[in-house]
Structure 1
Amino acid sequence: MGIDVRPPSRWEVVPLLECLVPLGATRPRRPDLNAYVSDLPEDDVVDVGGVACTSAVRTALDLARYRPRFLGLDAVDAMAHEGLVTVAGLEEAARPLRGHRFIRRAREVIDLCEPRTESMGESWSRLRVVEAGLPRPQVQVSLCDADGREIFRIDMGYLKEQVGIEYDGVAHHLKTAEQRARDDARRAEIRDRFGWRVAVTTKEDVFGRRPLVEGTVMEMLGLSFEVRRRVWA
């Protein structure tokens, strides 16, 4: 379906094929295959290039249930961004599974889904501040001139406090000194022209154990409380 759901530690590794077999069937055992026994209604099966695959909604729901929250969220955000699923559709699909294993995690992930999210780093950054107990930021904040033309767009932020959060990935932001200088100049203009302060986060920040992201955002928002931090593995 065009969505890469590999974790950061396995971006260069070909993922294992995952297979569902019907209840009562024998689960195949092969070194290149992860096989599971599961109920699989006909509506959950689609044809992709001649291969029977789980539908987009079933795939998203399974990822939200069985993957760690940070991986489930970036997958569901990406699938919603591409129009493969909707939040309402996922909520409806999860409703009959009340009481099933890991369905609470799935509901939490679906509730946090933001279809306008444009990268997995943005998903991780948003989850990190929410898990810390900070308010949920609005995504894709547009800063416009007097004529209503968008001049800048911030990954996420808090409108009243004019505090933004942006994720800088290596490929587009941190690979060269020119990229870093361009980002610095852009954020200086955002501050001077629009009065917004922007907290910048990286992969090391969102996966690190130190609450640097949360502390920076808390200080900008004028908040003070004990940060909750879940270790992502």
Structure 2
Amino acid sequence: MRTRGELPPGLGQSFAVAHARAEGVSRARLRGADLISTAHGARSLSAAAPGEELPPAARERERVLARARELATVLAPHAFFAGVTAAVIHGIPLPAFSHSLPRERGSAGPPDLAPLVVAVHKPRSVVRRANVRGIHIDPALAPVVEVDGLRVTDPVSTWAMLGARLSERDLVVAADHLLRIPRHPGGFRPPERPAFATREQLAAAIGRRRGAERLRRALDRARTGASSPSETRVRLVLVDGGLPEPSLDYDVVAPDGAFVACLDLAYPRVRVGIEYDGAGHRAQRQFERDIAKGEWLRDLGWDIVRFTAADFRDPVTSEARIVARVRAAIRRQESRKV
């Protein structure tokens, strides 16, 4: 038996007001301080704000997901999330604040979220709601799938819809994420899963969409071996800076055939490796593994160049410095006649 003020357990974290009323929840209870509403006719239980330890894109994603789940409780069955909202739901990497409105000067706290993109297939009428950007789209251009109970455009069409919004490099980052086949270093076990999309599927989805030329250029530059958006960005900086295309996810093997390490990027001919150390590398055990890995590689004659987020903070000089450091390592190795 529920105590007074307790919500029926079947309502979940987000629910439609009509559903709650049908379950016997009073109007007064629906105005309770523990409930919030970002969509007319819906409610959500208040939740703690995403932790400050998360990167901005991850904090934004948590806020978008919460709002989308609430809105989904009152959307018509034929409506679905599309565009940048679908990309956030799928976990496709985007630049920070891609789903946020410009912050007013001097304002504190997180920026307001941009309206959720909600689509319907033609010839249905667009969804008209507060905090929603309604669009309609040809069914052939927007196959729909379900992600954690949310109806969204599939990953392939979602990427193609970003062509009018993202830069070429950001589209490459997104494509690398979809094309990646996560494998275990050394190849001792089968890959964890297939890619989210194939190159052929992405190419077929471009068609005559807005940003089609940018999408084609980005797909031409996309690769399957990048394990993170930062690794893709390092690769693009090196190539745009005039260096050869590096190998990705490269396994280093000792002369006796023993597996030594897997490098994020590498120039095997001259034994230059490039590693991007994200936040996870600050953990003590990972730090110790990184030290041991570096020593093994040095013993085999490798020169390892390491980068972190700090190397990307200066938009004017960072790329030139990244290219210069890798070029210097290549020259050192060539002078040693590796």
Q: Which residue of 1 aligns with 2:205?
A: 93
Residues 1:5 and 2:111 aligned together: no
Q: After superposition, where does 1:27-176 map in structure 2 within 5 Å?
A: 28=128, 30-31=130-131, 33-36=132-135, 39-42=137-140, 44-48=142-146, 51-81=150-180, 83-94=195-206, 96-97=207-208, 101-170=210-279, 172-174=280-282
Deviates more, 1:201-210 or 1:21-30: 21-30
Name stretches of at least 5 consecutive residues in structure 2 with no aligned partner.
Answer: 1-88, 100-109, 181-193, 333-338
The alignment partner of 1:104 has SS state of: helix
- How far apart are residue 156 of structure 1 and its match? 0.8
- How far apart are residue 154 of structure 1 and its match? 0.3
Change (3 A) 1:74 1:218: same
Structure-1 separation of matches of 2:93 and 2:204? 23
- Which structure's CA Rg is the greater one? 2
Structure-1 separation of matches of 2:259 and 2:164? 37
Amino acid at match of 1:190: L
Amino acid at match of 1:206: F
Change (3 A) 1:136 1:192: same
Q: Which residue of 1 aligns with 2:17?
A: none
Change (3 A) 1:48 1:205: same
Taking only aligned residues, the RMSD between alpha carbons, in angstroms, comes to 3.2
Amino acid at match of 1:78: H
The alignment partner of 1:146 has SS state of: coil
- How far apart are residue 179 of structure 1 and its match? 4.3
Q: Which residue of 1 aligns with 2:291?
A: 184
Structure-2 separation of matches of 1:30 and 1:128? 41
Q: Which residue of 1 aligns with 2:20?
A: none
TM-score, with structure 2 as normaliser: 0.54
Correspondent of 1:196 among 296, 302, 307:
302
Q: Which residue of 1 aligns with 2:76?
A: none
Q: 1:69, 1:105 within 8 Å by CA — same for their partners in 2?
A: yes
- How far apart are residue 78 of structure 1 and its match? 1.6
Q: 1:128, 1:206 within 8 Å by CA — same for their partners in 2?
A: no
- How far apart are residue 206 of structure 1 and its match? 3.0
Q: 1:124, 1:206 within 8 Å by CA — same for their partners in 2?
A: no
- How far apart are residue 58 of structure 1 and its match? 0.6
TM-score, with structure 1 as normaliser: 0.75
Q: Could you say which structure has the greater relative contact order, defined with CA pairs below 8 angstroms and 6 or more residues apart?
A: 1
